[in-house]
Amino acid sequence: MPTAEIITIGTEILLGEIVDTNTRYLARNLRGLGVDLYRTVTIGDNLERIASAIREAMERAEIVITTGGLGPTVDDPTREAVALAFGVETEFRTELWDQVVATIARYGRTPSENQKRQAFVPRGAVAIPNPVGSAPAFIVEYTSPPAPLPYRAHVLKGEGRKGVVISLPGVPKEMETLLHASVIPYLQNRFDLRHLIKVRLLHTAGMGEGAIDEKIGDLETLSNPTVGLAAHNGVVDIRIAVKAENEITADQMIASVEADLRARLQDVIFGADDDTLEAVTLEAIKRRGWTLTSLEHGLPDSMKRSLPNLASLSDLGPGRLPEELQSTLKRDPAKTAALGIACFVDDMSAELAIITPRGAKSMRLTYGGHPRNLARWAFNNALNLLRLEAQSAS
């Protein structure tokens, strides 16, 4: 089973000017091919540092994918960096220049002289035409270590080991198009990829990461499937990842572990994969035939939009939430359930309250994390309180 590393290239990413979405996209597709991704890294637009990162990645992985740095300007050094990593020169390809000219002609323009840079690739590379942009991509293959040359005396260990460096554009839609049209079929053929990696996410609420770990720690030592945890402000995800020859086998292996997890955690698990706590809670309310009204203090607009029939109180003081929630429900007798969330950053506390046909509940919680995460943590805890009440109603 081949291993992979991803190198994202661009000083603008390191400066925080743009967000790297390419790595996530590539990682998910490599996972689907059954390729183990061991490392990702971002490098600025520096020839020597990019070449060094490529050489180091080639020592560890059979598949090295770079994104970015294939444009026409001086600060697009990926072509030269890959050539440097292999100890070769770049060479001009007439057919790639013809493609660049044709692409730019679609905009009614003539390419400038510096755009000829995009028609150069490392000597011996396999070119990948780009039908949706002006930056052709390329693949450099190797099957055994070359003779020692500057910058490559310590790379490509293992006589006969197949390996590739694949350089793709940084523009996300161009990268995605070339990945599916050319790179994935190429990888499947070169590495005889017949396995896949499938992931199932189970979402939990109402129990901390440490408490969950105590209940399922033995499952976290499995080798295939693997089980891992990730905490998100009142919600903890449990990841089940499996490597199998086909999707049917993968689903069976995941189902066995998932059944064990659900038996241990029961209603702590509220959903899977694309389920959200907001959607699951509102669906539980709907199934009960309850109509919900909401009251908040201290929530950001992004969370307010998730709450139906919302009223906001800017001057709500500690201890007043249950009373205000009762008043809100009385003013609208058509509503049969109410949810209240109040956040107080000054003392890092939150008050939660619900009223349903089953009765009223309220609680005050203190938070020990970053102040900016208080609202999301309180919001998730309040939704979970309401979810459990709706799902347990008879």
The yes-or-no verdict on residue 393 having pLDDT over 80 is no
Q: What is the token pair recorded at 304?
A: 């307010």
Angle between helices 374-392 and 277-288 (to 10 degrees): 30
> Is the same domain home to 145 and 91?
yes
Q: Which of 168, 178, 264, 255 is nearest to 216 (CA)?
A: 264
Question: Residue range 109-138: average pLDDT?
Answer: 87
Q: Which residue range forms the structural domain that includes residue 40?
A: 3-190
The whole-angstrom separation of Cα 308 and Cα 330 is 17
Q: Name 247's Cβ contacts closer than 8 Å, sequence gap at least 6.
A: 196, 198
If asked whether residues 75 and 212 sit together in one domain, one would say no
Provide the domain count of the chain. Answer: 3
Counts of helices then strands in the chain (DSSP H, E): 13, 17
Nearest alpha-carbon partner for 194 in 227, 243, 229: 243
Positive or negative CA dihedral for 122, 124, 125, 127?
Answer: positive
Bridging pattern class, strands 196-205 and 163-168 = unpaired
Give yes or no for residue 157 having a pLDDT over 60. no
Helix (H, G, I), strand (E, B) or coil at 388: helix
My answer on whether 24 and 140 are in the same domain is yes
Global confidence as pTM: 0.76
Residue finishing a domain among 272, 304, 333: 272
CA separation for the pair 383, 360 (Å, rounded): 15
Compute the Cα dihedral for 308, 311, 316, 321 and give only its sign.
Answer: negative
Whether 233 and 302 map to the same domain: the answer is: no
Give the integer Cα–Cα distance in Å for 62 and 35. 10
pLDDT of 241 above 90: yes
Pair 177, 208 in one domain:
no
Cβ neighbours of 373 (radius 10 Å):
13
Angle value at C-alpha 150, between 146 and 155, nearest 5 degrees = 50
CB 265 within 8 A of CB 212: yes
Question: End-to-end alpha-carbon separation of the chain, Å?
Answer: 51
* pLDDT of residue 161 exceeding 60: yes
Give the pLDDT band of residue 196 (cuts 50, 70, 90): confident
Q: Kindly report the CATH number assigned to the domain that includes residue 110.
A: 3.40.980.10
Do 289 and 221 have their domain in common?
Answer: no
Q: Is the pLDDT of residue 149 over 50?
A: no
Compute φ and ψ for 112, nearest 5 degrees.
-80, 165
166 and 80 belong to one structural domain? yes
Residue with tokens 């900016």: 372
Whether residues 151 and 209 share a domain: the answer is no
Query: pLDDT grade, residue 133 (50/70/90)?
Result: confident
Give the residue among 295, 282, 265, 310 at the shortest CA–CA distance from 387. 282
